[in-house]
Amino acid sequence: MGKLGKKARKFARKNLQSVLRNKRKLKSKFKRKASKTTGGQDVEENQERDTTNLSTERKAMTEEIEDVSLDDVFSEDDSEGLGEDSDSDVYLSEDSCCAHLTECDGESENNIDSSNGGSSLMVHNRDIRAELVKKAKRLNKLKEKDPEFARFLERYDVSIKQAKDDETSSDDEGGLDGMHPMNEDAVRSHVPKCLTSGQVDSLCNMVKKDHNMAALTCLINAYCTACHSDSKAPSASISVLSHNIQSGETFSKILMFMLHEADTIFRKLLGLSCSNCKKETVLELKNTSKWLSLKPLIKSYLRSTLFLLNQVTDSELLTFTICRLRTSIIFLVAFPTLLRKLLKISVHLWATGDESLSSHSFLIIKDISSMFGLNWFDSCFVKTYKAFINHAQYVDQRLFEHIHFLRNSFLELCSLDVQKSSNMAMKCMLHLAKILQKGRQTKKKEVVKKICSWQYINCIELWVAFISANAPEYDLHPLLYMIVQIINGIALLFPGPRYLPLRIRCIQWLNQLAGSTGIFIPVISLVLDVVAYKIAKDGGRKPGKGFELQSTIKLPKHWLKSRNFQVECISSAIELLSEHFAQWSYHISFPELATAPLVHLKKLYEITSIESSRRVIKRFIDQVEMNVDFVQKKREEAPFSPKDQQTVETFLQIERRSGNTPFTQYYRSIMSKAVTRKMISNTKGLRKMEVSSITEFFVHLSFKFNHYQNKITKYQP
């Protein structure tokens, strides 16, 4: 065999397996030698490097958790402003048949030819303003140097004002009150810039009877001036500033007429019905001559009304304005920017207003989500959820009813599209689970405080209510599994006795989910942990102050040593176990379910020294044992085997419908006593409350009574 050539030897060195094997052996030898020479220095450096990397990663993770907010689950940009933008002050030309807007917005044509002239005018106006500022400074200096000159200027200003008042009063005497309806040219030539009450009445009559476009344009300009009367925006045009409104009577007449009649007038001019009108009807009119002539008027009215909602603080006026704006909401399909502003204003008023204002604002949110498509439903969902989170950070007796209203209205919004709402609810729950998981891993004070907060608790309660309301009709098992895991994680993260109110809430949520879905959710271990709290010997000697668990998450330390705390633990445990057993008291496996709790409660009965608690425990044990005997007797008489699941599900269905078993009656009495017990504990603080808060207190109690009454009726025939 001949000698290999140069290329063949090169190929052999690179690709033959024997050559590669020898190279690997040599590399391993060199590595061993290097490790022996360097010693343990490299190992120590690597270990230090690893520990520093782990510490930096943990710090970064904790900092990330601390910065995470509950409303960061959605990445929607809510930064659009609702104040005065570049085209917020829209005034109509009264000299050109009211066919176009004087200002240039994004929907008008671009006047490219006049751009150079406009820029030169801007420079000229800037120079004039600079000269006026210089002259004003010189005039102020003269006033400071010569007081007599300042008094002369004041007298001169007074005389000018009196002369103007005389002129306007003479105009009122021969004004528009006694005039017959005239044509548009006459209106333009006779309508003064300074409107009085009589002139407004005449313009209103001309618009209502003759549908006079010039008079309508004048009224809309006056309405725009009235809506911007409290603003300090310098962007209004000169024609607007000359529309003076002389009195509050004129101001109110303009506002009331436009808010009452504008929608009816626009619909008549467009030929639309006042009741049945869909967005498709308005979209079909967009290319017609009627719409093109009325579009500037409608847009000016809607934008001025939105500006008024941002400026006014009176609740009654806000409610009336938003009610009237709701009738014209169909026109906003042609103006998406204004619709977006209306949504943001409505969400703000829904979250911060009183009962009437919040209700009417929510009706607008509901109309937007149902009338304008799925994209608008997403926007309504995100904005209302964020508003609920931001306003659910604190809970007391005054805010309890308002948060309850916000939760119910949000659930009503979700009912419009349950499938889409469930998808977005999954995102929210995953965000809550992420915060909980990282909180359990790090257990930093800031992270734990974020979880043990009213904001987090109200979010959990919101989704529990959503699942409970829609689970009978929709498949929400993924949401149910997720929320149950989160609730159990909260209960395990806060096991101490100071978190008794939080643990009671967790058990109530699980009972609510089990009752609405019909799925067994174990809560017995959580309830038995409640009765296992032993803080004071002999149940505590001091009775202690009464406390309300519904408005507390974490108890003070001094409450743990009171007798009332021990009584509350036992009574709450009995109520929660009664609710849990009432859900499964007709099930074929009830005897096995009640075995472990009966053993623990019998031990607790022997240990407890408080006589009232002993009676409660004894009665509960007797009722449970009676129901166990009842189910066992019926089970022995059953002709089917436990493997026959379909027949097992029909076990004791007749007795369930009748609801006359002893344990069901016992559960009703327990729930009614729970309501009265809470009422008695709260009446002790009535003397310290103000008269205004007493009414809220009774509203709060009536809500609780209705809540427990609904639970009781669930088990009635």
Q: Cα(409)–Cα(11) distance, rounded to whole angstroms?
A: 78
CA distance 214 to 237: 19
Mean per-residue pLDDT over the chain, rounded: 74
Query: Of all helices (H) and strands (E), which one includes residue 700?
Result: helix 691-713
The pLDDT assigned to 291 comes to 87
Q: Mean pLDDT lowest for which of 497-506, 514-523, 603-612, 650-659? A: 650-659
Higher pLDDT, 48 or 701: 48
Better-scored residue on pLDDT, 265 or 58:
265
What are the backbone angles phi and psi of residue 194, rounded to the nearest 5°?
-95, 100
Check pLDDT > 80 for residue 428: yes
Average pLDDT over residues 200-211: 86
- Lowest mean per-residue pLDDT among 285-289, 335-339, 423-427, 697-701: 697-701
| Locus of tokens 């202690």 | 544
For residue 498, the one-letter residue type is R
Output 337 or 687, whichever has higher pLDDT: 337
Q: Which of 425-429, 527-531, 674-678 has the highest mean pLDDT?
A: 425-429
pLDDT in tens, 111-142: 334 434 444 566 677 778 788 888 888 888 88
- Environment class of residue 523 by beta-carbon count within 10 Å: exposed (0-12), middle (13-18) or buried (19+)? buried
Q: Which amino acid is at 673?
A: K
Does 75 or 166 have the greater pLDDT score? 75
How confident is the model over 92-102, as pLDDT tens digits? 655 433 333 33
Radius of gyration from C-alpha coordinates of the chain: 38
pLDDT tens readout for residues 437-473: 888 888 788 888 888 889 999 999 999 999 999 998 9
Question: φ, ψ for residue 416 (rounded to 5)?
Answer: -70, -30
Nearest CA-CA partner of 564 in 672, 684, 668 = 684
- Report pLDDT for 698: 46
- Residue 101 has phi, psi (to 5 degrees) of -85, 145
CB atoms within 10 A of CB 645: 8
What is the dihedral angle through the alpha carbons of 420, 422, 428, 434, rounded to the nearest 10 degrees? -130
List, in sequence order, the alpha helices (H) in 353-496: 355-371, 374-390, 397-414, 418-442, 445-451, 454-470, 477-493
Residue 210 is predicted with a pLDDT of 83
Residues pairing with 92 in the sheet: 101
216 Cβ contact list (under 8 Å, min separation 6): 98, 207, 265, 297
Question: How many helices (H) and strands (E) are present in the chain, helices listed first?
Answer: 30, 2
Q: Using an 8 Å Cβ cutoff, are 661 and 584 in contact?
A: no
Instruction: Find out whether 544 and 564 touch, Cβ atoms under 8 Å.
Output: yes
Report how far residue 271's alpha carbon sits from residue 16's, in angstroms, rounded to the nearest whole number.
Answer: 90
584-633 tens-digit pLDDT? 888 888 888 889 999 999 998 888 888 888 899 999 999 999 988 888 88
Burial of 122 (C-beta count, 10 Å sphere; 0-12/13-18/19+): exposed
Check pLDDT > 70 for residue 423: yes
pLDDT at 131: 83
> What one-letter code names the amino acid at 386?
K
In a 10 Å sphere around its CB, with 0-12 CB exposed, 13-18 middle and 19+ buried, how is residue 129 labelled? exposed
Percent of the chain with pLDDT over 90: 23
333 SS3 class: helix
The pLDDT value given to residue 120: 58
3-class DSSP assignment, residue 92: strand
CA-wise closest residue to 212 among 92, 90, 97 = 97
> pLDDT per residue over 337-393, tens digit each?
999 999 999 999 999 888 899 999 999 999 999 888 878 999 999 999 999 998 888
In sequence order, the 6+-apart residues with CB closer than 8 A to the CB of 227 are: 255, 304, 305, 307, 308, 311
The H-or-E segment that residue 613 falls in is helix 611-637
The pLDDT value given to residue 87: 43
